[in-house]
Structure 1
């Protein structure tokens, strides 16, 4: 749930930004998602467009604007800085694709990714938003989330509550063919300085190379990489 600053116009503008970030939308959808009156939503969207925080698609719908990326580039993220040195080493060890995911509501977002130099790859572009209902990274992020989110996700998930308990017990998760056919992955939780799980670090690739139980091969190296990220935080 987003916080309210007490500054009405600011909170409304932020609501517009979040609504458009969910997926591009026109004025009707924008009003439905924010609950704002039509005139207010239009005025705010046009104002944000003027500042390049929103932009228009060819069909007239609003999408996130280029200024958002420019602002984000100036925001230092200690975890991403740490990942810039840890992920290349993990890719070198495994020879597979590596990713770092944050949880955003009921989705996971790829915030860092590296591909192997050759061979078949599991390409997950940075910025990709994937559901929490399938895949090893999803299991990790849900296993350490609050109980309300767990119940919500488990209703449609490809895994069970028992699976999440196993993830918490052994400290990593694996999957084969859950998120995408022919793809296997293994993920481990990344904790901040307070011990809170803030991300999932993953290795993924073709099942033909990774096997249907990739944890047997890569769990120790993946957990070591997660611990290295934790120490740098």
Structure 2
């Protein structure tokens, strides 16, 4: 990645080291080779970043991104999450069911925003919950437009099949009944960025006995409208 230059030499070098270590674990020799820095300079800056917990050492003594970066990231404003709050509340009020937004991180999906029913039976998925990509309608949606290698990796021991994936692509949404958890049903649709790439899944979930065996009949239209609204906000 091309680095911006501020003219503040030590700051530019520190950011270059952080970015380099974020791409892949780096030894001192690799930092020197990759960035063209003097060995003493690379060691001094990387060690200082380690002291501040911006970098840490892995089990092979290579530098990787440290916990301070994750802690600072918690304070960052995510435009996707900011835009989702009002959309999820509206979706909850229209359908009477809990609404969530999921993003994918490798083999899990993370709930980054949610709006829960105020009363009665509900499927509570707390913000920050990490759920498997192996089950659930949000997993179907987040996987459906991936490359074939990724799809086969997830499907190897998942609760759904290639037929499920094909159905998601055809309809533009997916539903699941008691796939992730007994008694829980959900329906999800993709949220896309300006390039058309799927960046999130917007979902409605609740008790299967209330949502019914065919969630799409009642819930697909408001769900797709909510996904389109969120895309416009982005």
2:141 aligns with 140
Alignment RMSD (CA, Å): 2.7
Partner of 1:214: 215
> Counterpart in 2 of 1:63?
none
Q: By how many angstroms is 1:219 displaced?
A: 0.2
2:190–2:202 contact (8 Å) kept in structure 1: yes
Match of 1:97 in 2: 98
Higher Rg? 2
Question: How far off its partner does 1:8 sit?
Answer: 8.2
Task: Measure the CA separation in 2 of the matches of 1:119 and 1:74.
Answer: 33
Structure 1 unaligned blocks of 5 or more: 16-33, 55-66
Does 2:59 align with 1:36?
A: yes
Structure 2 unmatched runs, 5+ = 1-14, 26-56
Change (3 A) 1:172 1:12: closer
Q: Output aligned runs, 1:185-224, within 5 Å.
A: 185-224=186-225
Deviation, structure 1 residue 150: 0.2
Structure 1 residue 14: Cα displacement: 7.8
- TM-score, normalised on structure 1? 0.74
Q: CA deviation at 1:76?
A: 2.3
Residue matched to 2:44: none
Deviation at 1:190, TM superposition (A): 0.2
TM-score where L is the length of structure 2: 0.73
Q: For each residue in 1:163-199, what CA deviation from the matched residue of structure 2 results, as whole angstroms up to 9, or x when unmatched?
A: 1111011100000000000000000000011111100
Q: Is it true that 1:231 corresponds to 2:232 in the alignment?
A: yes
Distance 1:189 1:36, change over 3 A: same
- Matches of 1:12 and 1:196 in 2, distance apart? 23
- 1:126-177 Cα distance to aligned partner (Å, 9 max, x none): 1111111110000000101121110001111111111111101110000000
> Secondary structure of the residue that 1:99 maps to in structure 2?
strand
1:164 is matched with which residue? 165
The alignment of Structure 1 onto Structure 2 pairs a total of residues equal to 190
